[in-house]
Chains A and B, each alone.
Chain A
Amino acid sequence: MSQVLLHRNRLMVWGGTLAVMALLPVVFSQGFAISLLCQIGIMAIFALSYNMLLGQTGLLSFGHAVYYGLGAFVTLHVLNANLGIPVTLLPLAGGAAGLLAGIVLGWVSTKRAGTTFAMISLGIGEMVAASSLMFPGFFGGEGGVSGNRVTGKGLFGITYGPQIEMYYLIAGWAFVCMIAMFALTQTPLGRMANAVRDNPERAEFVGYNPQWVRYLMLVLSGLFAGIAGGLTALNYEIVTAESLSAHTSGAVLLMAFVGGVGFFYGPVIGAVLITVLQIAVAGLTKAWLFYFGVFFLVMVLYAPGGLASLLVMHKRLWQARMMGWLLPSYLLAAVPGLILFGGTIVMVEMAYALLGGAELGGSEVKVFGFVVDASSGLAWAAAAIVAGLGMLLLKRALREVSYQWNNVHAALTRGMTA
């Protein structure tokens, strides 16, 4: 009975996802919105494939871009080779490349787990990135490799010339990959990956070789990362060594982590949020990388479960009709939070204007619609006082929030045992 119900729920979720994916470009039909949606779709696959390692198997990788980047390069080479493979299926070439790279590189890296795996993944990532400069024939040197997806073979009159057709290709692959990756979590291998994450030694004493479980998960994760890379290649029609770099590996880690590695859909939330923020914040300020760094650190220190876990926590309260307990304290914290946020941003922006002054021209900055002179001591003092005040008040308000949280938590557990 509950089995059937579960099934119906799942079908509804997947049906809903499909409908949203289909309708999004109708709602957001501007050119830049479609490009953004394409990027989000690709990153969602990439981040989900990353989470097969971190969230599901407990492997923290700093070199996942290797599989993504190799997938992208191979896809373009296959496209340029004019083998007559329909463009629709070309991401599979990327997937095959990712799989193969996983088979070779994963064999070395999954020999160890934990911290050592993290270091090895970084080393292997650096190795592949460094060798990209040594083989300009394959990696195209500084300029990268480019191609033209329209020269590829069309299917049923679809040429993938217009961006919207590209979007539906990405969305289709994203949907298929998501279902496949979710299905994997419901198989013996998927479950044993969780077991190995929790306690590799115990897994060994119920008959499983943890090394082999890690290896298989890494190989399969390489497959999906490769597909994401293949889609990137088709989407931008150019691939550079950047796609293999530590920078890309860091970005996918950021997405998966911020979204929440403890839940299947967490990385999707991360992919959407980070991709949108990247474009929105980068358009607003030169300091966006700095803000990303701070945001990441704050998440690590204060919400290590990611956004998905925050959502789940609050969903439970919502269902228990206890949100009312918390809302006042949230409002109380929001005000000093915003003050601190505002003061800090003014200081950061002034610092960027002042120190980067030579290249940007002048010490005047526009923050929140006001023009501030970064060279004035008064402006600095004012911003510092505002930020300090915000911090002080926020500390007190957070005490209230955690007090209310404890209340709620106690009430919830009482409700559970009763």
Chain B
Amino acid sequence: MSAPALRLSGVKKRFGRSEIIKGVDLTIPMGERHAIIGPNGAGKSTLFNLISARFPVTAGRIELKGEDVTGLRPFEINRKGLSRSFQITNIFPRLTVFENLRCAVLWSLGYKYSFWHRLEGLRDAREKAEQVLEDIGLMRRRDTPAGILSYAEQRALEIGITIAGGADVILLDEPTAGMSRSETDEAVALIRRVSENRTLVMVEHDMSVVFGLADRISVLVYGDIIATGAPGEIRSNATVQEAYLGTSFAHA
């Protein structure tokens, strides 16, 4: 059996005096779609920021595909095959949609800091970027500066940038936040398409999205994971219901 995609052991994060993440242990096997849910302020986004090295951990250890990545910098972790999206859209606003995606594939294709390749001559980069452009349905906006896209389009681009580099572990931070019902449905279909054969970890508030997509779910409450399991188990878990979900949850 191969190493899990992600393994967190005893991960803690303290800001000043308050401990936001209080020792999380979590193992996510390869190819799983995993959702992290929890009330506001539970530390879900912080946990993502720790895994992707946006913040340094206070204590604990993070392994990516069996390799210790604790203390690495974000670009180093990205090069090892982990990519993430952001809750607040984080794109290159003055570049066109196509250039945004091309930037996202350059490193994975091995072009690094090259100043001796002509971008236009790099067929693989162009084709890869165009493929993602099609996947996220933004062909018509190919040459539009990303900064003037609509909100839903920017969210799609955000996901596109995240998956373009071909990372096999993908972290999506509230991919459907602020979307209408129909936009959410489209986004879910997109996520389902692009996460095939990859490991997906996502933070999400929309319970129908979570239960529609996830193979397993972890519940994070005040910096602790109180339960991890298949959607059915989580739904019927008494501690979860008591601690966070209340009654509304049972109907989701």
Check B229 for interface membership: any CB of A closer than 8 A.
no
Q: Which of A187, A194, A209 contacts B117 (CB 8 A)?
A: A187
Interface string of A179-200 (1 = CB under 8 A from B): 0000110111111101101110
Q: Which residues of B contact A194 (CB under 8 A)?
A: 92, 94-95, 99
Q: Determine whether B114 belongs to the interface, using a CB cutoff of 8 Å to chain A.
A: yes
Q: Are A206 and B103 in contact (CB under 8 A)?
A: yes
| B113:A216 contact, CB within 8 angstroms | yes
Q: Are A195 and B75 in contact (CB under 8 A)?
A: no
Nearest 8 pairs of A and B residues by beta carbon: A207-B107, A198-B92, A189-B115, A188-B111, A207-B78, A204-B74, A206-B104, A188-B114
Complex A-B: 10 CB contacts under 8 Å: A191-B106, A194-B95, A198-B92, A198-B93, A198-B94, A199-B93, A201-B74, A202-B90, A205-B78, A213-B113
| Residues of chain A from 192 to 232 with CB closer than 8 A to chain B in the complex | 192, 194-195, 197-199, 201-209, 212-213, 216, 220
- Judge whether B78 and A216 touch: CB under 8 Å: no
Q: Is B108 part of the binding interface, using a Cβ–Cβ cutoff of 8 Å? A: yes
- Interface-centre pick from A3, A184, A203 (highest chain B CB count, 10 A): A203
Q: Please name 5 further chain A to chain B contacts, defined as beta carbons within 8 Å, in addition to the given A188-B119, A206-B165, sorted by A numbering.
A: A190-B119, A205-B83, A206-B103, A206-B107, A216-B115
Q: Is the CB of A192 within 8 A of B106?
A: yes
Q: What residues of B have a CB within 8 angstroms of the CB of A198 in the complex? A: 92-95
Partner of A202, one of B79, B91, B99: B91
The prevalent SS among residues of B at the interface is loop
Report Cα–Cα, A216/B95, bound state, in Å: 20
Alpha-carbon separation in the docked complex, A208 to B75 (Å): 6
CA distance A349 to B201 in the complex (A): 70
- Residue pair A207, B75 in contact (C-beta under 8 Å): yes
- 331-375 of chain A: CB within 8 A of chain B: none
> Do B115 and A199 touch across chains, with their CB atoms under 8 A apart?
no
Interface size bracket, A side = 20 to 34
Q: Please, what's the 1-or-0 string for B82-100, where 1 marks a CB less than 8 Å from any CB in chain A?
A: 0110000011111100010
Contacts of B116 in A (CB 8 A): 187
**B residues less than 8 Å from A212 (CB atoms):** 113
Cβ B103 vs Cβ A195 within 8 A = yes
Q: Which residues of B contact A199 (CB under 8 A)?
A: 90-93
Residues of chain B with a CB closer than 8 A to A201's CB: 54, 74, 90
Residue numbers in B under 8 Å from A188 (CB-CB): 106, 111-115, 117, 119, 122
**With A205-B78, A206-B103 in contact, do A192 and B118 touch (Cβ < 8 Å)?**
no
Contacting residues, chain A, for B118 (C-beta < 8 A): 183, 186-187
Q: Determine the chain A residues whose CB is within 8 A of the CB of B99 once the complex forms.
A: 191, 194
Binding site for B on A (CB under 8 A): 3, 183-184, 186-192, 194-195, 197-199, 201-209, 212-213, 216, 220
The residue of chain A having its C-beta at the shortest distance from the C-beta of B100 within the complex is A195
B169 beta carbon closer than 8 Å to chain A: no
Q: Which residue of A is nearest B164, CB measured?
A: A206
Query: B78 touches which one: A183, A187, A204 (CB < 8 A)?
Result: A204
Cβ B104 vs Cβ A187 within 8 A: no
In contact, B75 and A189 (Cβ under 8 angstroms): no
**B107 contact set on A, CB distance < 8 A:** 206-208
- B228 at interface by CB-CB < 8 Å: no
With an 8 A cutoff between CB atoms, is B73 at the interface?
yes
Whether A202 lies near B161 (C-beta < 8 A) is yes
Q: Find out whether the CB atom of A192 lies under 8 angstroms from the CB atom of B113.
A: yes
- Structural contact, A207 and B165, CB atoms closer than 8 A: yes
Instruction: Identify the closest chain A residue to B118 (Cβ).
Output: A186
The reply on B45 being an interface residue by CB < 8 A is: no
Tell whether B242 is near chain A: CB-to-CB under 8 Å: no
Is B102 positioned at the interface, with any CB of A under 8 Å from its CB?
yes
- B52: interface (CB < 8 Å): yes
Whether B93 and A206, one on each chain, are in contact in the complex, defined by CB atoms closer than 8 angstroms, is: no
Q: How far is the CA of A206 from the CA of B79 in the complex (A)?
A: 8
- When C-beta atoms are compared, the residue in chain B nearest to A206 turns out to be B104
| In the bound complex, CA of A212 to CA of B112 (Å) | 11
Look across to chain B and name the residue whose beta carbon is closest to the beta carbon of A183. Answer: B118
B90, A186: Cβ atoms closer than 8 Å:
no
- Which residues of B have CB within 8 Å of A183? 118
Shortest distance in angstroms between B130's beta carbon and chain A's nearest beta carbon? Answer: 13
- Residue pair A191, B52 in contact (C-beta under 8 Å): no
